[in-house]
Chains A and B, each alone.
Chain A
Amino acid sequence: MVSDKSKLGFYLLLMPLLLWLVTLIILPHIGLFFVSISEKVGVREYETGFGNYAVFFNEPLYWRTFARTAFMSIFTTVLTLLLGFPIAYYIAKLTRGRAKTTLFLMCLIPFWVSELVRTFGWMILLRETGVLSSFLQYTGVIDGPVEFLYNDGAIMVGLVYTSILFMIVPLVTTLDSLDDSLIEAGYDLGGSGWSILREIVIPHAMPGIVSGCIVVFMLSLGNYLTPILLGGKDSLWFTGLIYTQFITRFNWELGSAFGFLLLGLSSTIVFLGLKLSRQSLSGTMGR
């Protein structure tokens, strides 16, 4: 196998991978780090230091937005897991054949449609002149038009909607591989619904739960569209701050520091999640 010819083939296969990873992933992130630790002291004059990070910690607006984004993303992840698990279980275990395929496809279709279109749909539903407000007026529940958009509730609805499919799909896959007879055996041995869920179903579904949680958390944390469009102008999301620093204020140094903080937060949480659940990145994501 290890002839000169196959060695050449190996290097030819290695080239595109290295070219991609080095020029588009590794070097840009190193570059981002170096920009984040340079401070502007004059026109085209920079000094190395952690001043941009100090700006972040000294300005309550910045770190509060950071904490708020993190907290709401975690909340979205938990909510998505609680709402999505019964659905995934229903699709994987309680339906068969064509019904199963149909339900699964119905889950997948919104997942293929652009996030912008999905968010737009929620805007039409929730705005003051929207469908929900009109419906409630028509049924007499409320007297005048009510604005359901531009608050944290609307952001949560949108974030859960955007990401729940990324929770359901891995859950369905792992639950599908759970043998029904294990659950039957659990009942035969006198287990209750709860104890079977806790001791058989959830441990088996763990890789799916972890990969779903990681993806949902990442998507919420890095989301820009949903918080900006559904949360309105006053609602702050950390990616929005990064965008402002880069595109509006042209302060790339501070923007890079923000980017690095977000990257640090997301990697830390993903790392902790993997450690706590004893899963590995290649085991959960690289299926």
Chain B
Amino acid sequence: MIPTVPQSSALKWTYRAYVTLFFIYLALPLTVVCAFAFNNSVFPSLPWEGFTMKWFFGTEAPFIGVFHERSIVRAIGTSAFVAVWVAGLAVAVGTCNAFLFVRHDFRGKGLLYILMLLPLIIPGVILGISILVFASSVANTLEDATGLWFDGLRPGLILVILGQFSFITTFATLVISARLQKFDLSLEEAALNLGATKWGAVRQVTLPFLLPAIIGAGVVAVLMSFENFNTTLMLVGSDAPLTIIMFDKLKHGSTPVLNAVSLLLIVASAALGLLSLLFQKSK
């Protein structure tokens, strides 16, 4: 089963055929999504009516391209806004967590570590509803007590950001901790010997060492935030991110505009994903 062990050729070819079939299965949906973005028809289905770029640049109904479809452009903006906040917060808290778990020993560390991992095994829908219920009961209590209106605690962008942050932070913590564990503490001690302050040593020696992981975690956070659906669905208000808008459109019958958006998403996420791999590999 490994190259040095001889195998019958029939078995070898069956195995190869299976692997090939699997990769076709993997590529098929993404390929058709991309292909139909160029079909000159108002439905993303066969027959093929010829090649067109209208679904990207078209301005006249029914061929309104992505770049002229207001709701989609606005949703991309909303998603980007949410993603930047989520990534920023998750990386900041994740870095603190990494230092805490790698550098410090304290009572209850094991318990806190397990609590930190919990968001990985809580379904996204439940994270969403629990935050929704909690935020509204806090808002209700505050409003009853003060008579003021607390918009931030009602479904909307703030809750979407908090909801996504609540589980993406776990991923950021894991990525950054993994790199911090590889750090040689004697480098920091050397800096201290040369007269650096504790914080100065961390800032000038440790953080630059962590930077690839921090950027990598940030990119992964942006990707996860952009594509998150389950948690967002429960917390969304009037400004909907891209996945929610696309889901609504998909439920009510789709046009190749969605294929065009998907194509852009595929290209962008593949590029971002490769970028995060590069950052995590550079050592």
B114 with A90: CB separation less than 8 A: no
B134 with A31: CB separation less than 8 A: yes
What's the minimum C-beta distance from A167 to chain B, rounded to whole angstroms? 12
Q: Contact size class for A?
A: 35 or more
What's the minimum C-beta distance from A126 to chain B, rounded to whole angstroms? 10
| CB contact under 8 A between A90 and B19, given known A112-B270, A222-B125, A286-B113 | yes
A263 with B229: CB separation less than 8 A: no
- Chain B positions 245 through 283: 1 when the CB is less than 8 Å from some CB of chain A, otherwise 0: 011001100100011001001100110111001000000
A108 to B272, CA, bound (A): 12
Q: Which residues of B are interface residues toward A (Cβ below 8 A)? A: 1-5, 15, 18-19, 22-23, 25-33, 36, 43-47, 92-93, 96-97, 99-100, 104, 106, 110, 112-127, 129-134, 137, 162-163, 165-166, 169, 174, 178, 198, 223, 226-227, 229-230, 233-234, 243, 246-247, 250-251, 254, 258-259, 262, 265-266, 269-270, 272-274, 277
B45 with A124: CB separation less than 8 A: yes
Shortest Cβ distance from A211 into B: residue: B120
B32 with A125: CB separation less than 8 A: yes
A180 to B55, CA, bound (A): 51
Pairs of residues from A and B, 9 with the lowest C-beta to C-beta distance, nearest first: A121-B29, A222-B123, A28-B130, A114-B227, A28-B134, A112-B273, A24-B166, A129-B45, A31-B134
A108 to B23, CA, bound (A): 12
A121 with B113: CB separation less than 8 A: no
Max count, chain A CB within 10 A of own CB: residue among B36, B130, B131: B130
B117 with A285: CB separation less than 8 A: yes
Residue A43 is within 8 A (CB to CB) of chain B in the complex: no
- Chain A positions 112 through 142: 1 when the CB is less than 8 Å from some CB of chain B, otherwise 0: 1111111011111101011100100000000
Residue A75 is within 8 A (CB to CB) of chain B in the complex: no
What's the minimum C-beta distance from A194 to chain B, rounded to whole angstroms? 11
23 A-B pairs within 8 Å (CB atoms) are namely: A17-B96, A21-B116, A27-B134, A32-B129, A32-B133, A94-B1, A108-B277, A110-B29, A114-B243, A116-B247, A120-B29, A124-B45, A129-B43, A129-B45, A134-B47, A161-B25, A183-B2, A215-B120, A242-B126, A266-B122, A266-B123, A282-B114, A286-B113
